[in-house]
Amino acid sequence: MAGPYLPLKTGARGLKVGLARMPPKAREAEHARLVRELEAHEYRYYVLDDPVVSDAAFDALMQKLRALEAEHPELVTADSPTQRVGGETRPFITKIRREHRMFSLDNAYSPEEMLEFHRRVALGLRDGDTATFTVEPKLDGASIEVIYDSGRLAQATTRGDGAEGEEITPNVRTIRGVPSRIPHTGKLTLRGEVLIFRKDLEKLNAERDAAGLERFANARNAAAGAVRMMDPREVAKRPLRVIFYQAVEGPQVRPTHSETLKWLAELGLPTHLREKVTAWEGVMDAIAAIDRARADYPFETDGAVVKVDSFRQQDVLGATSKFPKWAIAYKFPAERAITTVRSITVQVGRTGALTPVANMDPVELGGTTVSRASLHNADQIRELDVRVGDRVSIQKAGEIIPQVLAVEARSRPPGTEPYEMPKECPVCGTRVVSRVREEGKPEVEATVRCPNRQCPAQVQGRILYFASRPAMAIDHLGESLVDQLVTKGLVKDVADLYDLTAEQLTELERMGKKSAQNVIASIQASRERTLDRLVGGLGIPQVGQVAGRQVAQVAGTLETLLGWSEDELREHIGGIHGFGDKMVDSVVDFLEDEAERAVLKKLLDRNVGRPQPREVVATEGPLLGKSLCVTGVLTRKRDDVHALLRAAGATIHDSVKKDTTYLVAGDKTGKTKLDQAKKYGATVVTEEEMDRLLAGEGLAGA
């Protein structure tokens, strides 16, 4: 493949001699030819997965291009293949507000939920209008937006919050499957997913093993972490790929999603696998086909995406505040695996609760390596009869937390004994306790507790909870540091944090002077947190951040809260809307406990917890007299949503209670909250329906 003026010679000297003999126009032509040839090979390798030259031949072409550009820097352009190695580190993060919001997808988990989606689509279209659908494997990576302008890659951003993302253009330029130039003259805005293929992850982890580095647990983490790196040169070291799944702006003449993806492929862009289904009856068949074939895909997938194909119909259907109404993700059932329990250990939490944990032979599950699973409590161990040596079936609850489903009792090794919860705390040795339940119920409660509040595990748990972001938000105070602080006796309760010095911290492991100063600065800054954050971080049973805010609003100051007698506490706390007898008892018991009062007085002496600003209570509004619980992932910050609801006259609950009117259920809402809503008769509403309630419009059909 040698050019007319540059014979294939080995070594830099031979290359330079050939370059020196080239006239200017010939150099430009040779540069263009090398760029086109390298781009063609990159397309075949990274997009088609069908290379036609060896790695050595590709490297020789790249060497020629680098030599040419080294001799003639004026030929270098931002989209040259030589520039994919990455430039200088980004000095700061730039936020870009996008013209078209980047939505997430609503999820379905059963054929019945898919039929409900189809019913909504049919109702949303004009009379007599029927939809055609595309069905695609669901990509599990990092979503990005890429803009081409006049045929050149102009900008790339992360998903961010949908409306705004971080600019990552230098990082995306390093991804060889993303062409720097395409044969399109206008502006083209695309959405895609950054992935790492299975085979590439295996190779990457082998290299990390050889270098003594920690392996990546799954391809998604490796890809998502790389996209936002500050140094493009580090990004270039990851075998990243992009699959484009949507065109937002540009191909207006193409009327459907499927035709648009075909056109993008013709431009040389990596696009998605898809099947066009003309009748709804074929949608579930297409989903089943993806499920059967997913083990053969080069990338991980945990579901299928169904989209209305027509752009015109997509516009008619529109979107909620979070999801497009013309698309949905069907999630495959959670993956299960069989493994062996090698031991059962017990963890002690901040409340003293003992939680048994099964330690198992490592097994791949949902793209991650699982070796531990919570057994929750003594009741579950008895119900499942889990024993050391058992073969067990496990799955990820909510696709996140590993849980044991069942024991294969037939394969149980002989001589195993039923597991018994320890009689003593495994951390401090204190004899454990369990309370007597109500009449007619089993003798002991499921949870066994360590009653020693000075147990190091409990102290560590309380400090970490106190320092968490929803509470006092003390940065740099991680598990390792807290473990050292408690073990060495530097901190016995949360108030002791405010007596620490940088000099004390520098004597700890892996704690330099600058790190110590950062920790102390963060601790001191937390003094300015308001009383609600402090109360919410104390770990009072049944009192979270919402209830903590309500207690703080009533008391105003920590001094007032400590100054109330037991009768006054019951009067003030009992008057809070939504506080039942058990919550009142919990708050009163905590504040009347001498040990807890001693810690609170230490906090007061150290000027921790600013007075709570008096909140203006709405006396009118569309939600006056209504109470709401907000859960799941929303498009806005939870505090902002609470503020809107309060301004409309609503009362906010931490959890669903007997008098909760509405449960606002965002993405990834847990089954427990939904079951509570059903139990207490609370109406479950989406974020969009909540907005209608705020506007005084009521619910559809109500």
CB 125 within 8 A of CB 317: yes
CA-CA distance, 82 to 282, in Å (whole number)? 46
Element (H, E) at 14: helix 12-20
CA-CA distance, 238 to 228, in Å (whole number)? 12
**CA distances in angstroms from 378 to 343, 382, 412, 527, listed in the order given:** 15, 6, 20, 40
Q: Round to the nearest angstrom and report the end-to-end CA distance of the chain.
A: 73
CA-CA distance, 519 to 497, in Å (whole number)? 10
CA-CA distance, 187 to 688, in Å (whole number)? 32
Element (H, E) at 51: none
35: Cβ contacts below 8 Å, ≥ 6 apart: 65, 80, 81
- Cα–chain-centroid distance for residue 45? 31
Beta strands in 513-626 (DSSP E): none
Element (H, E) at 678: helix 671-680
Q: What six digits make up the tokens of 392?
A: 């067990």
- Tokens 């048994």 appear where? 356
Nearest to 114 by CA among 275, 284, 290, 303: 284
681: Cβ contacts below 8 Å, ≥ 6 apart: none
Nearest to 310 by CA among 135, 189, 122, 131: 131
The region, left, alpha or beta by phi > 0 then psi within -120 to 50, assigned to residue 316 is alpha
Q: What six digits make up the tokens of 350?
A: 């901040």
CA-CA distance, 318 to 55, in Å (whole number)? 47
User: Quick count: other Cβ atoms within 10 Å of Cβ 442?
Assistant: 11
SS3 165: strand
CA-CA distance, 64 to 485, in Å (whole number)? 58
Nearest to 177 by CA among 297, 50, 274, 1: 50
CA-CA distance, 271 to 265, in Å (whole number)? 6
138 in catalytic set: yes
CA-CA distance, 253 to 591, in Å (whole number)? 68
Nearest to 31 by CA among 5, 58, 69, 86: 69
Q: What six digits make up the tokens of 391?
A: 């073969």
Catalytic hit among 16, 64, 95, 138? 138
Catalytic residues, which ones?
Answer: 138
